[in-house]
C-alpha cells in the first residue's frame, strides 16, 4: 500500500507545535525508559501496560509452551526480574509479583476496545495531558 501525504490540508486536531512537542516527549521517555529499565521499548505496547498488582510496566517476552514453540507474551518487569511469586525478603521489603502473563494475541484483541474508549474521551484526555507539568516545560 502506498501512502500520499498532503501537508496542511485541513484543520488539525492538535497544533503542529503540540504534535512536535509530543513527539519529542515520546522520544525522551523512550530513552529514559530504556536507560532505567534496560528494555528497548521496541514494541507498540511497550511501557503502555501497567501491572495492577505492583504498578510496574509490562515488557514483551517470548515464552516456550509445552511443544517447545515460542509464544509472544507480556509480563510486568517486577515479575520478569524477581519472579512470579511475591514474597518478603530479609529487610522487610517484598520482591516478585503475582500478576499473570498476558498473551500477545489477547493484548492485540483488546487494543481496539481500549483505543475506542480513549477516542470517546479524547478531549478530556488531551486536556489532562496538556495540564501535565512536563508539557509546559516542552511548550515554553
Judged by the rule CB under 5 A, the positions of this chain that interact with Zn ion are 51, 53-54, 76, 78, 97, 99
Please choose, from the candidates 106, 95, 94, 100, the residue with its C-alpha nearest in 3D space to the C-alpha of residue 75: 100
Nearer to Zn ion, 21 or 80 (CB): 80
Beta carbon of residue 53, minimum distance to Zn ion (angstroms, whole number): 4
Place of cell 519529542: 24
Cα 80 to Cα 109: distance, rounded to the nearest angstrom = 23
Beta carbon of residue 87, minimum distance to Zn ion (angstroms, whole number): 13
Beta carbon of residue 80, minimum distance to Zn ion (angstroms, whole number): 9
Nearer to Zn ion, 60 or 78 (CB): 78
Strand order in the sheet with 102-103: 58-64, 70-76, 102-103
Nearer to Zn ion, 22 or 98 (CB): 98
Amino acid at each position: 500500500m502506498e501512502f500520499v501525504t498532503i501537508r496542511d490540508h485541513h484543520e488539525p486536531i492538535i497544533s503542529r507545535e503540540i504534535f512536535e512537542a509530543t513527539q519529542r516527549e515520546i522520544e525522551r521517555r523512550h530513552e529514559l525508559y530504556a536507560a532505567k529499565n534496560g528494555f528497548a521499548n521496541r514494541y507498540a505496547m511497550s511501557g503502555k501496560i501497567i501491572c495492577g498488582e505492583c504498578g510496574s510496566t509490562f515488557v514483551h517476552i517470548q515464552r516456550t509452551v509445552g511443544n517447545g514453540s515460542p509464544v509472544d507474551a507480556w509480563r510486568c518487569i517486577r515479575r520478569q526480574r524477581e519472579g512470579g511469586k511475591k514474597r518478603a525478603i530479609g529487610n522487610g521489603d517484598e520482591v516478585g509479583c503475582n500478576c499473570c502473563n498476558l498473551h500477545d494475541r489477547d493484548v492485540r484483541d483488546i487494543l481496539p476496545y481500549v483505543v475506542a474508549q480513549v477516542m470517546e474521551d479524547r478531549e478530556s484526555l488531551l486536556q489532562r495531558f496538556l495540564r501535565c507539568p512536563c508539557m509546559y516545560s516542552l511548550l515554553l
